[in-house]
Structure 1
Amino acid sequence: MAKAGVAGIVTQGTNGEAVHLTNLERSTVNRTTRDALSRTGYENIPIIVGCGVQSTRETIDLCRQAQDSGGDYAIILPPSYYKANYKPECIKGYFTDIADASPLPILLYNYPAVTGVDLDSDTIIELAKHPNIVGCKLTCGNTGKLNRIAAATTASTHADPGSGFMCLGGSADFTIQSLVGGGSGVVAGLANIAPKSCVKVSELFISDNYHEAKTLQAIVARGDWVAIKTGISGTKCALECFFGYGGFGRKPLPRPTKKEAIDYADMFQEIANVEKVL
């Protein structure tokens, strides 16, 4: 991914099976990632570590652990287990308390399909005033929300460093839309499979090659839809098929059957073919 030109690496994310890792394994993944980047001349690529868990106290501990093991930023999901009991100020307080105590800068992670909690633009804009909250990832796919946040925070873009706040789309299938809306870029799970394709969409758009960008964006969006439909099982299966690594998800995730593995490979074939020629 670094050789493909990505701007940063996420560990302990969805595709990293953060919820299936022990604390020791989390640190090991971070250290291994930092070591691999440093040994190959990519020591300046930041590592963004998923640290959000249900309690404020443990999330702060994970932020400290992330710094100790080589992380540069912490990306935090909102708590969700007791969401029926939370008041709006509880969610804001959660992020504020963590930002106050974390040694790493914080990115807010809005992923309502997983958490059932959808942070609105007003909440994110208010939290963005905290000096240690430096960005957000919007996997909700709401480009109107992204546009509002980017404008209110004067988010960094390819053309203007702005305030330094990073307003990031959360999926490769709306890369162009994120950039048009004033976003800083995207954090794309599909980049595990097709990093060059994901990077190329942004490069084409930034260089004003809009027709080529639109054409490639459509291919990337179709590939991302496969990843969305098949989930982490499909993504890891594709990694095994096309690159020979990735393994299978930990239980209780299902292991794909032989037929499912063939079907996943067929569905990812278009984006895999494009990736090979870039």
Structure 2
Amino acid sequence: MTTSRKPAPPFGRTLCAMITPFTEAGALDLDGARRLAARLVAEGCDGLVLNGTTGESPTTTDEEKTRLVAAVREAVGDRAALIAGVGTSDTRHTVELALAAGKAGADGVLVVTPYYSRPPQEAVAAHFLQVADASGLPLMLYDIPGRTGTRIEPDTLIRLARHPRIVAVKDCSYDFLGTQKVLAQTELAYYAGCDEHVLALYAVGAAGCVSTVANAVPGHVAAVLAAFDAGDTARAARLQLAATPLIEAMTGAGLPGTVTAKALLSRLGLPAGPVRAPLLPADPETADTLLAHYETLAHP
């Protein structure tokens, strides 16, 4: 029996943090991006996050980011929400990217905490509010202190939730207590940004996930949430646990998810291409391990 435990999520339920395909020469592969996006949507994703961490946003140009959003919009039409990563360490630049993403066809923008400068909480809040005021698109805030050096503190999130266009959070805080505090006091739609937390966060009221592993197994990630929504929590747990070896290999074995996702997609004959420096490609042994975990999950 399907439950009515949650309102409709603002950006879909199963979102993929999509890689950005490149040609072997390292150029943007828009045809590959269209094909990959269409596959992800056909196999269970109802939202795609473009130009995020997994999409190598630090090493793609503003023009490439805009062209990618436009190409994927063309490929998926209205079958999936598109969230464009626009986060930078410069508020003015972030606003410019948000406006460009809207013109290119994005449904929302993903805005990470400004990194390196480590702003205090008042400055963090001011950054997000300036982007929200300037853009007509809804915002998903990206809380990932392990990369940015700065947390969006729960009290800051509770305050930011009052803005009508700040509607969601991609949660990579690894602070489950703080996350529950915000969930209990706001209507922010939380999305698990760490694949090992997909089911746990969903069970306490999250809207869904932004999954790196979904690049390879979108249907499996979607099935975890679908089983929970259907009331079959035991099946949801089995599916989540079955994915653990692949999750660990892709996101917990010391390599960035971009590197492992591209290595696995390449082995599967799907659009990926090389990573851009300073990242280095996975070695053949790592790619073999990723493929073995994929095969075990896909063909148990």
CA distance in 1, matches of 2:296, 2:130: 46
Cα deviation 1:63-109 (Å, max 9, x = unaligned): 000001110100100112211xx332111111111111112111110
Q: Please state if 1:55 is matched with 2:90.
A: yes
Which stretches of structure 1, 4 residues or more, deviate above 3 A after TM superposition?
none
Residue 268 of structure 2: SS of its match in structure 1? helix
Percent same amino acid at aligned positions? 26
Equivalent residue number for residue 65 of structure 2: 26
Whole-Å separation in 2 of the counterparts to 1:77 and 1:263: 29
> Any residues of structure 2 matched to 1:83-162 within 5 Å, and which?
83=118, 86-154=119-187
The alignment's TM-score, normalised by the length of structure 1, stands at 0.88
What amino acid is aligned across from residue 146 of structure 1 in structure 2? T
Return 5+ residue gaps in structure 2 as ranges: 1-39
Contact 2:108/2:139 (CA < 8 Å) preserved in 1?
A: yes
Helix, strand or coil at the partner of 1:187: strand
Q: What is the correspondence of 1:229-240 to structure 2 with a 5 Å cutoff?
A: 229=253, 230-231=255-256, 232-240=258-266
CA distance in 2 between partners of 1:133 and 1:117 (Å):
19
The whole-number CA distance in structure 2 between the counterparts of 1:276 and 1:197 is 11
Query: Which SS does the other structure have where 1:2 is aligned?
Result: helix
Q: What residue is the counterpart of 1:79 in the other structure?
A: 114
CA distance in 2, matches of 1:185, 1:56: 28
Equivalent residue, structure 2, for 1:253: 279
Size of the alignment, in residue pairs? 258
Q: For the residues of structure 2 that align with 1:150 and 1:60, how far apart are their CA atoms?
A: 27
> For residue 177 of structure 1, what is the amino acid of its counterpart?
A
After superposition, the C-alpha distances for 1:5-55 in whole angstroms (9 at most, x for unaligned) are: 2120110011111111111101111011001102xxxx2411000001111
In the alignment, what sits opposite 1:158?
none
> Matched residues in 2 for 1:263 and 1:82: separation?
34
Q: CA deviation at 1:276?
A: 5.4
User: Deviations 1:218-273 (Å, cap 9, x if unpaired)?
Assistant: 122321121112322122111100233211101121133xxx22333324423344
Gaps of 5+ in 1: 155-164
SS in 2 for 1:182: coil
Task: Measure, in 2, the Cα distance between the counterparts of 1:213 and 1:187.
Answer: 17
Deviations 1:145-197 (A, max 9, x none): 2222111113xxxxxxxxxx311111221111011111111111111111111
- Asked whether the 8 Å contact 2:121–2:153 carries over to 1, the reply is no
RMSD across aligned positions (CA) = 1.6
SS in 2 for 1:136: strand
| d(CA) in 2 for partners of 1:205, 1:58 | 40
Q: Which amino acid aligns with 2:91?
A: T
Q: For 1:123, what is the secondary structure of its paired residue? A: helix
